[in-house]
Structure 1
Amino acid sequence: MTHETGVQQGAETRPADLYAELFGKQASTLEVVSTGRLTPVGARPPIRTYLAQLWKRRHFLWAEARAKVTSGTRETLLGQAWLVLNPMLNGLAYYLIFGKVLGADRGIPNFLGYLIIGVFLFQFTSQSVTGGAKSVAGGRNLIRAFSFPRASLPISVVLRRVLNLVPTLSAMLVLILILPERENWNSVAALFPIVLVLQTVFVTGLALLLARAAASLPDLNQLIGVLMRFWLYGSAVFFSIERFENYPLIVGLMEANPMYMVLDAARDTLLYGVAPSVSTWVGLSAWALGTLVVGFAVFWQAEESYGRV
């Protein structure tokens, strides 16, 4: 007596015959895969492969950043106007407190323009670094669900801030032009976009570095806000470095500060019509490229750990 499957009882059944009975012609497509060709999910690829994977996702990163720019202020009455109003209100507060009450404007030509450039550009750095540090923790569910280069998360944050910076910069330039104190705007202003590129490269590297650190030590996110205030005061956002001319150590530390270099170069090009010094270009370029290389390498080294609890 035989079963309906067509395989006689008592006959020796081979695995291939059983697969053929169950799956028909599909059995011929089955392939034995060597374990040597398998890789763990979420494993860290070689750095060149990793960079190639990031480059392939560049269009998605840009689209995702644009979508989050429009959604970030959707629930407010003024919408994207807050991208401009927020730094303007901060600048007004600093102007009243430091410029009028504490007299920090003494000896600074075009103090309003000086202050506006400092506040607007420092806020871009602060928001990029703070958001980048939180990006891995905020995207942990996404990390566990999909396989993709984790560096996409902090890079996407910086891209979002760059898009936010476009209307902010437009407002900054308009304010500089219409303010009562006259700026000395000439062909040197064409160097300002180079300053912005170097600042963006620098904050991208710093976002990657802090994203790696905050993923290992979540308490760091609570300290970043305090550290940003110290950095704000150490970058001469609303006072001149000449106030500390009798303290050469303080002056030296501030001049080595990359954000001071960014603000000093931006003010020279947009307010005073002076080309930044060679030392400023060299120092800022070294900070930008060095931070990006170190930040990317450190982040890539811990690629396999970001989805863990």
Structure 2
Amino acid sequence: MSETNNPLGLTTIPSVSSEGLVPVGKRTSLRSYLSALWNRRHFIIAESRAKMSSSTRKNLLGYGWLFLTPLFSVLAFWFIFGFILQTSRGVPNFIGFLVVGVFFFGFTGRCLTGGTGAIRSGASMIRGFQFPRAALPISTVVRNFLDFLPTLVVMVIVLAIIPPLEVITWRVFLVIPVIVLQTIFNVGLACLLARLGHIVPDLTNFMSIVSRFWLYGSGVFFSIEDRLADHPALLAAMQFNPLAAYLTLVRNSLLYGVDSPPSLWLVGTFWAFGLLIVGFLFFWRGEETYGRR
């Protein structure tokens, strides 16, 4: 097998794919790319588990921090917003309201910051192995999803033991499709930001600021409807926020046992699949640029 030269005189090493011999790192067709990504699904899961384990191995409590961190976060936010600032006024079951907000927003918040730096953190792997680069931001979402599962256990325990206790209805099962939609949304978000973070490395630091603004603008600590009742235009814009939609869907189904309006499900579905398509295609089109710097 001979090497090939590009117009700049640089030598590239050909590799075998379903499309024949192509230079390593060259962007393949979308169909071949998706097929290669699916064939590496076991690698993505294994790599996500490895990073999950390494993040807790050096701690004395190990995996216990996956339960304790969200619990302490809820206590801190309750003390500041519920006790001191009194944002709990007019919000039924404020503890449950806060628990859902903190836990579910945390899932997306970690995917936002982790996805932005996915290419930079996986630079050595990109240079050493040939694989679809989208595996890196997707792996970030899978790892954060695995971290998210223990927080769901904590959430159920907190809601079960801290009054007021809500009457559980069949709508609790609607939380599952909300988690699916939010996870799909997170994949699109991570892919979009992974390429942007590769183009603008400083974006990684800026995303922590964006995450804070998003946190306060998603109704995590207060009811958007109550606080913005006198500002209908701003309220309408805030309700189009995907995280606000996901949090409201979970709260209605899990805490209050009421039906959510169909428009809310449409907003959540639109953001999930819309961002997945846009984010993934945007990332795929930059496949050849990853690992060059």
TM range, smaller chain: over 0.9
Match among 280, 287, 291 for residue 296 of structure 1: 280
Residue matched to 1:79: 62
Q: TM-score, normalised by structure 1?
A: 0.87
Return the alpha-carbon distance in structure 2 between the equivalents of residues 170 and 151 of structure 1.
Answer: 30
The answer to whether the 8 A contact 1:84-1:167 is kept is yes
Aligned length: 279
Decide which structure has greater strand share.
Answer: 2
- Per-residue CA deviations over 1:156-194 (Å, capped at 9, x if unaligned) read 010011111111101111111111212132101011100
Deviations 1:39-96 (A, max 9, x none): 2211000000000000000111112212221221110111111112111111111111
Q: Residue 276 of structure 1 aligns with which residue?
A: 260
Provide structure 1 residue ranges, at least 5 long, that are not aligned to the other structure: 1-30
Q: RMSD over aligned Cα, in angstroms?
A: 1.6
State the AA in 1 paired with 2:206.
Answer: L
Question: 1:48 & 1:105 partners in 2: Cα distance?
Answer: 50
**How far is the alpha carbon of 1:128 from its aligned partner?**
1.2
Q: Which residue of 1 aligns with 2:196?
A: 213
Q: Which residue of 1 aligns with 2:32?
A: 49
CA contact (8 A) 2:112 2:211 kept: no
Partner of 2:136: 153
Q: 1:234 aligns with which of 217, 224, 248?
A: 217
- Tell me, in whole angstroms, the C-alpha distance in 1 between the residues paired with 2:131 and 2:3: 23
Helix, strand or coil at the partner of 2:63: helix
Counterpart position of 1:142: 125
Which protein shows a greater Rg? 1
Q: Tell me the amino acid that sits aligned with residue 123 of structure 1.
A: G
1:125-149 superposed Cα distances (whole Å, 9 cap, x missing partner): 1111111111100111111111110
Contact preservation (8 Å) 1:125, 1:203: yes
Indicate the residue corresponding to 1:259 in structure 2. Answer: 243
Identity across the alignment (%): 47
**What's 2:9 paired with?**
none
**Contact 1:184/1:270 (8 A) holds in 2:** no
Q: Distance in 2 between matches of 1:194 and 1:61?
A: 23
Q: CA deviation at 1:32?
A: 8.1
Structure 1 residue 275 displacement after superposition: 2.2
Query: Aligned residue for 2:233?
Result: 249
| Distance (Å, rounded) in 2 between the aligned partners of 1:171 and 1:128 | 20
Which blocks of at least 5 consecutive residues in structure 2 are unaligned? 6-13, 15-19
Q: How far did 1:34 drift? A: 9.7
